Structure 1
């Protein structure tokens, strides 16, 4: 037997052993679905723990540090002074309350606008028109955030297009401030409310609406007893997007909010201007805590299954 034949035989034997090992592993995974699922989820779970939960842990740890007032260096000693300042200084309570109320207002505005649009798409429009409406709703998401925000800054400016339209009626636009912030954020996050409600209403059988009409239910009662209970989890699912995105926003209020501030602005100012990273971390825990409370409150509605 030549050396080439021996090498070929050795390679074939090694390949056979590898194939046999693969078959044994595949057999073990086939008989143990939980182990197979754990192996499949190990990589994304590791990424979640390291990248997301790890960053949150670092954020919470930094919130209990302080900054040297002379050098500006971060001092990694445990202190609750940052949270004491948040709770005792009225300006931060005011900013937190304003941020929550703006997020609530944006959510309510988006629900009022999104629900009839989603209902028309799901139950009235033809399949062809439905596809076009879905594309039309998703198209603004492809445009840059800053482009849309600056467009609203131009629209809401004093002497801008909105003032031109309202001037013949003796009216004027809202200018910059909290109303302008609510309007802009409502526009930016509206698709995130329409699409979940549309998906929820699509699951509503038309036969239920026909049955309600056959039993003599008027439009409002049909909406209250048939449509709304089915769509409510989808509405809550959409509100998670609009509420959380509005709560953490800082660019829109910087552009159209005038002198108003939200939580995100306080975080940005302490990171980029004051250089007080520990206090910025403490402020950043506020929207996280608010969202945790909100998610715990809505988890029984079935909204998380609609995300």
Structure 2
């Protein structure tokens, strides 16, 4: 027995590897420091450092005569955001992001609820495949495909013509704000593409939250005489709210910063992402581009603050 116990004790390793192993075992905090230092440096220098550099650029200004950046602290660039044309860009982008987020929640909730409550086995696998499949294809391919679908010669116009509903589409496109020459050159087309591209980012968090809703609570609510609307309002929705907030953060923030979809599908009126791209590249007004990029950060900060005040993060 003593010989067996003695053989179970491994001999001490020699050399540098053995010394390091002993040092890490005696000082686990030092090992944790070595493991965390690279990602913390990456986060602090590359990510946060670039954000602070961007914020610093927004406090500079452009000399109107020479077009050169004046490296002097000023709030002049932020004042330019309140000019009519720039304020219009900000309001247009925030409104589009809010509408896309609300529409994504309305479309995603029944899909996620069905997958969480009723889909089993191969049908649940089919659900995940159907939701994830659009994410596997190229972002640009999806946007250009939708441009072809929404064009005057696209399949959607062809289908409406076969159903003798062209008059309805023309009436919609004649509206002053949402309309345009065609769906591919209108805010309606921009909204549809935004909704399609970001919808999986709303469905998956909602489905995960609804999976955690206990079935016995729903059944107890029904047994106590609650109508389906009351069960949804008092049981299902509060428990699914963290997933809804998580999905809305994705859809709202992604819509705020995107510039490719409005550039390909939409009117000539700019969004924040397009304004940043133009001022950074074509116009060369880096301070104004930096000030525009601060806007989504501030908007998302207020959004998260409001969600926290409403208790949306309490169940997370």
- Alpha-carbon distance between aligned partners in 2 of 1:213 and 1:42, rounded to the nearest angstrom: 53
1:78: Cα distance to partner?
Answer: 2.0
Give the CA deviation at 1:172: 2.2
What's the counterpart of residue 91 of structure 2? 97
Query: Structure 1 residues 205-214 or 70-79, which shifts more?
Result: 70-79
CA distance in 1, matches of 2:127, 2:265: 29
Between the aligned partners of 1:18 and 1:107, the Cα distance in structure 2 is 54
Q: Which deviates the most, 290-299 or 123-132?
A: 290-299
> How many residues are treated as equivalent by the alignment?
289
Does residue 152 of structure 1 match 2:146? yes
* Residue in 1 that maps onto 2:169: 172
SS in structure 2 opposite 1:217?
A: coil
Unaligned 5+ runs, structure 2: 1-11, 174-182
TM-score (norm 1): 0.87
Q: Judging changes above 3 Å, is the alpha-carbon distance between structure 1 residues 155 and 16 closer, same or farther for their aligned structure 2 residues?
A: closer
The match for 1:161 is 155
Instruction: Please give the residue correspondences for 1:173-212 in structure 2 after superposition, counting only pairs within 5 Å.
Output: 174=173, 175=183, 176-212=185-221
Determine the C-alpha separation between the residues in 1 that align with 2:146 and 2:20.
Answer: 63
Counterpart for residue 79 of structure 1:
74
Supply the distance in 2 between the matched residues of 1:160 and 1:285 (Cα, whole angstroms). 38
Q: Secondary structure at the match of 1:79?
A: coil
Match of 2:292 among 264, 283, 287: 283
Q: Which range is displaced more, 116-125 or 276-285?
A: 276-285
Distance across 1 between alignment mates of 2:236 and 2:285: 50
Q: How far is 1:72 from its partner? A: 4.0
Contact 1:163 1:171 (8 Å CA) reproduced? no
Secondary structure at 1:171 match in 2: helix
* Mapped partners of 1:52, 1:147: distance in 2: 29
Greater helix share, structure number: 1
Map of 1:214 onto structure 2: 223
Corresponding residue for residue 25 of structure 2: 26
Q: For the Cα contact (< 8 Å) 1:237–1:304, is it kept in 2?
A: no
Q: Please show how residues 41-120 of structure 1 align to structure 2 within 5 Å.
A: 41-69=36-64, 72-87=67-82, 89-120=83-114
Per the TM alignment, residue 292 of structure 1 is displaced from its structure 2 partner at its CA by: 1.5
Partner of 1:231: 240
Q: Which runs of 5+ in 1 are unaligned?
A: 1-12
**Cα separation, 1, equivalents of 2:239 and 2:121:** 21
> C-alpha distance in 2, partners of 1:43/1:222?
49
Q: Tell me if the contact between 2:24 and 2:31 (Cα under 8 Å) persists in the aligned partners.
A: no
Cα contact 1:177–1:260 (8 A) shared by 2: no
1:260 to 269, 273, 284: 269
TM-score of the superposed pair, with normalisation by structure 2: 0.85
